[in-house]
DNA sequence: TAACTTTATTAGGCCTGTCTAAATATATAT
DNA sequence: ATATATATTTAGACAGGCCTAATAAAGTTA
């Protein structure tokens, strides 16, 4: 399946999937251009091509959504990505915060056999080291998101971190350093009106910009 | 270094290196075209490009050799290839005979960090599962070949297999099945004039075409 | 709704790696 | 040494993925 789409197409499909999964609706040319670090005309011409090949539903000036074929490819690439990240952390001594780049390349190049061997070596995990759900081997399912965002919580809430979304490596390293990683418990101390959240965890008290707090998924306890 | 050459260039350089290491001299257009499964004009234009970028020394109608820059890239890619093959066998339950394709792709896509982590996980091996030498981390050295070819030996010689060169997967699987793998001892029973060698190992007696016997490197004991 | 701003598409071009067909250089055989 | 065969290069084309500049559509504001 994935071999039907070039590496570049696979990345477009994956990114369309990720944007829509996070916030629904459809994806605009400029949004995709920004995420893929490519010019808008490049996106337009790729969307035309992906549309012709029935990977996406694209209507001029109206944004793009995935067609079934495209969603399957997106899930396949995402499964590879998240399995690779997990493998690098569990078996090759990578840090949580530094696996992304490597996985972003290798996701397109491992065989189905290697995917299987990696998944087996890991015991078929359902989540990657950031807490992101790994699509099932048959690509039929991916864990539903039942979390809230740390940035939505109010003073006094006590939560457990379930997931930290992809961000710049330095940001992730900082969060790791202050103990804001999946599995840790955090209490919301205060929420300032100008977008700063103060939190306490086992490491002490820390303040984070709301944007960062919104990229941390949690469950209230 | 390797990032200066495209994936395709890396493969040309690697294959030029492999041909010259095996038999010296220079490499012809048609030879390379055959090895790379590409048309001769494609090779010509690539050689011109590699020459302009000082990766090779190429003279029209006279074949190609590697320049220093090109040799370093070839060694780097080869190190990746052989480390990956070793890793797949040692840690991901691949069979000796089925690692080649995977490594042929991944060799271009792993980072220097991953190379290092893989090498460490393996204890910095000097040889891959086929017995081929792995270039050193600084690419300054690669084990000298001190073996003879099984196909050169005469009746009565007793040898140990040191290396089995890359061939079709099915051929390697057959050799594995009859116990012709690195580390095993073999006695040459007879050498027929029409190019058939008969051998005895712990599995019994087997005949191999001379061409195959020539791709098995051994040391006489 | 008219003017202006923002977003998206069209037009045209470039580079890489590949191909086939035609031309030419080199090697081989009579 | 000439003719023939083989190997190689040149010429010209194409698809993929990207770009900038120009144009046009959609959205926003007055
Ligand atoms: Mn990618
Ligand atoms: Mn897969
Ligand atoms: Mn390769
Ligand atoms: Mn390397």
Instruction: Delimit the domains of chain A by residue range.
Output: 2-70, 148-220
Residue/partner pairs of B115-123 with CB below 8 Å, 24 or more apart = B115/B79, B115/B80, B115/B83, B117/A88, B117/A92, B117/A93, B117/A94, B118/A92, B118/B83, B118/B84, B118/B87, B119/B83, B120/A93, B121/A91, B121/A92, B121/B87, B121/B91, B122/B83, B122/B86, B122/B87, B122/B90
Asked if residue B198 lies in contact with residue B155, where contact means CB atoms within 8 angstroms, the answer is: no
What's the gap in Å between the CA of A212 and the closest CA on chain B?
A: 28
CA distances from B43 to B11, B17, B60, B76 (A): 12, 15, 12, 22
Asked if residue A164 lies in contact with residue A191, where contact means CB atoms within 8 angstroms, the answer is: no
Note the pLDDT of residue B194: 85
Note the pLDDT of residue A30: 98
Helix or strand run (H / E) with residue A207: strand A204-209
Note the pLDDT of residue A2: 86
Mean pLDDT of A25-33: 98
Note the pLDDT of residue A193: 84
Nearest residue by alpha-carbon distance to C1' of C16: B6
Query: What is the per-residue pLDDT across A186-207, written as a single tens digit (0 to 9) for each?
Result: 999 989 888 899 999 999 999 9
Note the pLDDT of residue B199: 94
Whether residue A118 lies within 8 A of chain B, CB to CB, comes out as yes
Give the confidence band of A221 by pLDDT, cuts at 50, 70, 90: confident
Query: What is the per-residue pLDDT across A115-151, written as a single tens digit (0 to 9) for each?
Result: 999 999 999 999 999 999 999 999 998 889 999 999 9
Please give the distance, rounded to the nearest whole angstrom, from the Cα atom of residue B215 to the centre of ligand 2. 34
What CATH fold (topology level) applies to the domain B2-70? Answer: Arc Repressor Mutant, subunit A (1.10.10)
Residue/partner pairs of A87-92 with CB below 8 Å, 24 or more apart = A87/A118, A87/A121, A87/A122, A88/B114, A88/B117, A89/A129, A90/A122, A91/A121, A91/B91, A91/B121, A92/B114, A92/B117, A92/B118, A92/B121
Interchain pair B93, A118: CB under 8 A: no
Of B93, B111, B120, the CB nearest to A117: B93
C chain positions with any atom within 7 Å of a protein CB: 7-12, 16-22, 25-26
Note the pLDDT of residue B221: 87
- Average pLDDT, rounded, for chain A: 95
Query: What is the per-residue pLDDT across A172-185, written as a single tens digit (0 to 9) for each?
Result: 999 999 999 999 99
What's the gap in Å between the CA of A189 and the closest CA on chain B?
A: 39
To probe the interface with A, which of B84, B115, B117, B118 has the most A CB atoms within 10 Å?
B117
To probe the interface with A, which of B106, B118, B119 has the most A CB atoms within 10 Å?
B106
Chain B hits for A110, Cβ within 8 Å: 102, 106
Residues of chain B below pLDDT 50 = none
Closest CA to A28 of A13, A37, A172, A19: A19
Right CATH for A148-220 from 2.40.30.110, 2.30.30.90, 2.60.40.10, 1.20.810.10: 2.30.30.90
Q: Considering any atom of strand D, list protein residues whose CB lies within 7 Å.
A: A 6-9, 37-39, 41-42, 45-46, 49, 61; B 28-31, 40-41, 43-45, 47-48, 60-61, 63
Note the pLDDT of residue B207: 93
Note the pLDDT of residue A85: 98
Half-sphere exposure (CA, 13 Å, Cβ side) for B104?
10
List B residues 86-115 in contact with A (Cβ-Cβ < 8 A).
Answer: 88, 91-94, 98, 101-102, 105-106, 109-111, 113-114
Note the pLDDT of residue B195: 84
Cβ burial of B213 (10 Å; 0-12, 13-18, 19+) is: buried
Record the pTM: 0.93
Query: What is the per-residue pLDDT across A70-91, written as a single tens digit (0 to 9) for each?
Result: 999 999 999 999 999 999 999 9
């Amino acid at each position: 399946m994935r071999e039907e789409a070039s590496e570049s197409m696979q990345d477009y499909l994956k990114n369309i999937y990720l944007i829509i999964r996070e916030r629904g609706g459809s994806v605009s040319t400029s949004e995709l251009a920004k995420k893929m670090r490519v010019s808008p005309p490049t996106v337009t011409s790729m969307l035309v091509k992906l549309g012709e090949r029935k990977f996406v539903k694209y209507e001029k000036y109206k944004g793009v959504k995935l067609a079934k074929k495209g969603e399957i490819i997106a899930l396949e690439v995402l499964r590879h990505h998240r399995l690779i990240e997990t493998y690098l952390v569990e078996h090759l001594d990578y840090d949580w915060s530094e696996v992304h780049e490597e996985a972003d390349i290798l996701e397109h190049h491992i065989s189905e056999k290697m995917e299987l061997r990696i998944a087996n070596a890991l015991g078929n995990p359902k989540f990657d080291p950031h807490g992101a759900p790994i699509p099932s081997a048959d690509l039929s399912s991916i864990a539903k998101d039942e979390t809230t965002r740390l940035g939505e919580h109010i003073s006094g809430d006590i939560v457990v971190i379930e997931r930290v979304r992809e961000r710049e490596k330095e940001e992730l390293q900082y969060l790791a350093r202050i103990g804001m990683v999946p599995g840790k418990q955090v209490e919301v101390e205060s929420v300032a009106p100008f977008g700063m959240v103060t939190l306490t965890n086992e490491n002490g008290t820390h303040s984070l910009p709301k944007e960062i707090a919104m990229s941390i998924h949690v469950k209230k306890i």
